[in-house]
């Protein structure tokens, strides 16, 4: 079984989780974005 950190790193490596500055459609800002098409 994978640890939480291993899962997070896998999602980052596959660019499913992007880190940076994102303006969401709601108008809010986020330091992370989940690209659902890469999951």
pLDDT by residue (tens digit) across 3-22?
Answer: 999 999 999 999 999 999 99
- Count of domains in the chain? 1
Domain with 12 in it: 4-38
Q: Place 38 in a pLDDT band, splitting at 50, 70 and 90.
A: confident
The model scores a pTM over 0.95: no
Q: Say which residues have a Cβ less than 8 Å from residue 21's Cβ, sequence separation at least 6.
A: 29, 30, 31
């Amino acid at each position: 079984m994978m640890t939480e950190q291993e899962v997070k790193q896998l999602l980052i490596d596959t660019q499913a989780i992007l880190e940076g500055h994102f303006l969401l459609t709601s108008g809010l800002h986020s330091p992370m974005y989940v690209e659902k098409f890469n999951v």
